[in-house]
Amino acid sequence: MDIKKKMNKFYEKKTLALLISAYKADKNLINIVDNFLNQKLPRGWDVKIYIGVDGCKDTFNLLKEKKINFYYSSNNVGTYIICNSLIDIAKKYNHDMYARFDADDIP
């Protein structure tokens, strides 16, 4: 493979799936999403954010009002189940990398 083909392969579009589980996170979740979207990603990378709301109606209402897509469980099932559900959804799109955190992990 010549150098030009190697460089083109190196700079192919890649995606990071950001998985955020949220419970009672309505006060800071929008700031978290905005702060992450304002980060400079390496050349060729894009981000897709997946938010899972774990039975919290306030967070549900805020995301609905802001027209932000999210996965919702009407019952509080716990961060592991929400996270695993987000992984199952994101895996359908063959992202190159995954990052996960809870909404309250970021100040």
Cα–Cα distances in Å, from 75 out to 23, 51, 82, 84, 95? 11, 15, 11, 15, 28
- Residue 36, pLDDT score: 86
CA distance 44 to 59: 32
- Token code pair at residue 26: 């309505």
Question: What digits encode the pLDDT tens for the residues 32-74?
Answer: 888 888 999 888 999 999 999 999 999 999 999 999 999 999 9
Q: DSSP label at 96? A: S
What's phi and psi for 50, nearest 5 deg?
-120, 120
State the Cα angle at 46 between 7 and 82, rounded to 5°: 135
Say what the pLDDT of residue 6 is. 63
pTM of the model: 0.85
Q: Scan for tokens 């909404």, then name that residue.
A: 103
Read off the pLDDT band of 15 (50, 70, 90).
Answer: very high
CA 62 remoteness from chain centre: 17
